[in-house]
């Protein structure tokens, strides 16, 4: 009897120990999932606040969020968000504008991550986790291999076919003109009215100041700027304000 009691006690202890071990493993898994979910929530909040222009002047994506930004910028959600922005432009154009047909109706597009994608570059440079190196980035631009963003390629031609003059206003340097033109034409863009790039006199201006001055010049020349599409808030800020602005998603870098 005593022997049986000892065996039962040993067996019970073994079961309890096994249950505790399983519970510890389960607890650890729950904790890992909780930490993972918490990090995902934090990084998505960071990304959204970049898009809302609440987070500004950041030099690098937080290290713990690099993978999250990578997943978003290469996801179907990024494409869907961009496509939705393009659809909103089309909806706006369908009822907003009394086009005069006098050659003075205008629309502005940014270039990088608006017409052309820099994702191939950032795949090799940490999706914003590395500080942006201007020399490296410009060397990549000189390869003229940036792919078109399909949603804005289609939008570009739809706006152009309405008789609206399209102006491309980029923060790229004037020295990159031939590479930029070759790249744009190669992927399907053609028929723009002007490509504005930063000259030597613009080198020390903030991007928003330079782009606002381009808009000011166009308005002075009699153009009606019906809208601007860009991936950076600096494409929209400053005076004169365009009638509408449409922001495309990009949380890999910030240009002010």
What are the boundaries of each domain within the chain?
Answer: 33-247
Cα separation, 128 vs 252, whole angstroms: 4
109-127 pLDDT, tens digit per residue, is 999 999 999 999 999 999 9
217-248 pLDDT, tens digit per residue, is 999 999 999 999 999 999 999 999 989 999 99
Per-residue pLDDT band for 128 (boundaries 50, 70, 90) equals very high
- Checking if the pLDDT of 29 tops 50, the result is no
CATH architecture entry for 33-247: 3-Layer(aba) Sandwich (3.40)
Per-residue pLDDT band for 20 (boundaries 50, 70, 90) equals very low
According to DSSP, residue 170 is labeled E
Exposed e or buried b for every residue in 92-121, given b needs 16+ CB within 10 A? ebeeebeeeeeeebbbbbbbbbbbbbbbeb
Predicted local confidence at residue 37, as pLDDT: 66
Predicted local confidence at residue 100, as pLDDT: 80
Do 158 and 90 contact (CB within 8 A), yes or no?
yes
Cα separation, 62 vs 228, whole angstroms: 29
Predicted local confidence at residue 193, as pLDDT: 98
- Checking if the pLDDT of 52 tops 50, the result is yes
Mean pLDDT calculated for residue range 35-40: 74
Q: Measure CA 199 to chain center.
A: 25
Cα separation, 41 vs 47, whole angstroms: 10
Do 129 and 57 contact (CB within 8 A), yes or no?
no
């Amino acid at each position: 009897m005593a022997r049986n009691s000892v065996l039962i006690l040993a067996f019970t202890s073994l079961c309890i120990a096994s249950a505790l071990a399983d519970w510890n493993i389960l607890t650890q898994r729950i904790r890992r999932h909780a930490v993972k979910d918490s990090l995902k929530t934090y990084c998505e909040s960071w990304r959204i606040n970049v898009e809302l222009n609440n987070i500004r002047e950041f030099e690098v994506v937080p290290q713990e969020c690099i993978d999250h930004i990578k997943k978003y910028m290469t996801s179907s959600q990024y494409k869907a968000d961009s496509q939705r922005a393009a659809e909103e432009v089309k909806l706006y154009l369908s009822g907003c504008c009394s086009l005069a047909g006098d050659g003075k109706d205008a629309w502005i597009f940014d270039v990088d991550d608006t017409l052309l994608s820099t994702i191939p570059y950032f795949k090799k440079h940490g999706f914003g986790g590395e500080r942006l190196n201007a020399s490296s980035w410009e060397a990549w631009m000189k390869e003229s291999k940036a792919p078109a963003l399909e949603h804005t390629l289609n939008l570009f031609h739809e706006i152009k076919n309405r008789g609206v003059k399209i102006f491309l206003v980029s923060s790229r340097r004037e020295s990159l003109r031939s590479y930029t033109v070759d790249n744009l034409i190669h992927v399907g863009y053609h028929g723009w009215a002007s490509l504005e790039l930063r000259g030597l006199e613009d080198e020390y201006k903030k991007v928003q100041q330079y782009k606002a001055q381009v808009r000011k010049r166009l308005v002075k020349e009699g153009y009606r700027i019906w809208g601007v599409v860009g991936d950076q808030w600096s494409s929209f800020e400053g005076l004169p304000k365009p009638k509408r602005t449409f922001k495309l998603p990009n949380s890999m870098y910030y240009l002010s």
